[in-house]
Amino acid sequence: MSNPEALGMLRIARRDLKAAPMLQVASIDEASRGFQIQQVVEKAL
């Protein structure tokens, strides 16, 4: 049986991961990119 909250977090993680390439512009520093990707991983867990 699926957990609705877990599925919701996975949907958000997928959405955030799709946006990740946009963080590779020069005006966004590495720490900010790292934080955003770390958030994706936490949501997926």
Residue with tokens 């996975």: 10
According to the model, what pLDDT value does residue 7 have?
93
Higher-confidence residue of 10 and 1: namely: 10
According to the model, what pLDDT value does residue 1 have?
57
Burial (CB count within 10 angstroms: exposed 0-12, middle 13-18, buried 19+), residue 9: middle
| This model's pTM is above 0.75 | no
pLDDT tens-place string over residues 10-41: 999 999 999 888 888 889 999 999 999 999 99
